[in-house]
Amino acid sequence: MAVLALDNVSKSFGALRVSQHITFELLEGEALGVIGPNGAGKSTLFNLITGNIDVDDGQIEFLGRNVTRVPPMERCLSGLGRTFQIPQPFEKLTVFENLIVAGAFGNRLPESELADQCADILVETGLIAKANELAGRLSLLERKRLELARAMATQPKVLLLDEIAGGLTEGECHALVATIQKIHTSGMSIIWIEHVLHALTSVAERLLVLDFGKVIGIGEPDAIMNSKEVREIYLGLEV
């Protein structure tokens, strides 16, 4: 069963067509990886799904409901969680307070019920020792973990991860992948944009390839990575 479905979704900024007739489905419990060169429209795709950018044409269905014109706040409340490519923490709040905001608003739980839940997410994402630190003082890895933790605090049904492994060392990347695998194993549906392919393919069951705002391939990782078109366009290899 599809939890998220995009049907012919298009978006242009003036003459620049950043998304062209994008159509795909995300199945319940599935991890879908999204790859493509810089400027392919990957983050724009997330912004269209979350409502941060309005769709020009096409339709987005989330959990069977047409959410094409629904504002981002309501999409979050209905179970769509996201991280940002460039971490966007609430810098003057502590790490713990960042999660409380997400839990209190995104999951509509009273604060009295949130302490244990948020603390457990901080333990899971390796941030518990930084719980009372200001988010603005975190390192890049910690900010990326906070993005993940904050999205988790909204208790989403679908999690959108935007280049969460980018800029991390190999060791940091492994640790983050292990956390994401754990989240996915619990049954959460995930769409993950990533340039670090070994990290992505260790979690994703299917890959979707974007180029110039178009879907040029979708399928199992091996098949996609061996496709001539993908190797030429995305990997820049002559076949």
Site for another protein in 15-54 (CB under 8 A): 50, 52
* Contact stretch for another protein (CB under 8 A) within 30-38, 94-102, 201-209, 226-234: 94-102
Query: What whole-number distance in Å separates Cα of residue 7 and Cα of residue 212?
Result: 18
Nearest to 54 by CA among 33, 23, 75: 75
Q: Does 106 bind another protein (CB under 8 A)?
A: yes
Nearest to 125 by CA among 170, 192, 178: 178
- Which of 11, 82, 144, 145 binds another protein (CB under 8 A)? It is 82
Site for another protein in 161-200 (CB under 8 A): 182-183, 186, 188
Q: Does 140 bind another protein (CB under 8 A)?
A: no
CB 58 within 8 A of CB 231: no
**H or E segment to which residue 224 belongs:** helix 221-225
Instruction: Tell me how many residues contact another protein (CB under 8 A).
Output: 54
Query: What whole-number distance in Å separates Cα of residue 223 and Cα of residue 217?
Result: 10
* Contact stretch for another protein (CB under 8 A) within 59-67, 118-126, 165-173, 210-218: 118-126
CB 61 within 8 A of CB 4: yes
Strand arrangement, sheet containing 65-66: 16-27, 2-13, 57-62, 65-66
Query: What whole-number distance in Å separates Cα of residue 7 and Cα of residue 59?
Result: 5
* Contact stretch for another protein (CB under 8 A) within 26-34, 61-69, 77-85, 214-222: 77-85
Nearest CB to another protein, comparing residues 19 and 107: 107
* Contact stretch for another protein (CB under 8 A) within 35-43, 105-113, 214-222, 227-235: 105-113
Instruction: Summarize as ranges the residues that interact with another protein (CB under 8 A).
Output: 50, 52, 71-73, 76-77, 82, 84, 88-94, 96-98, 100-102, 104-108, 111, 115-124, 128-129, 131-134, 137, 150-154, 182-183, 186, 188
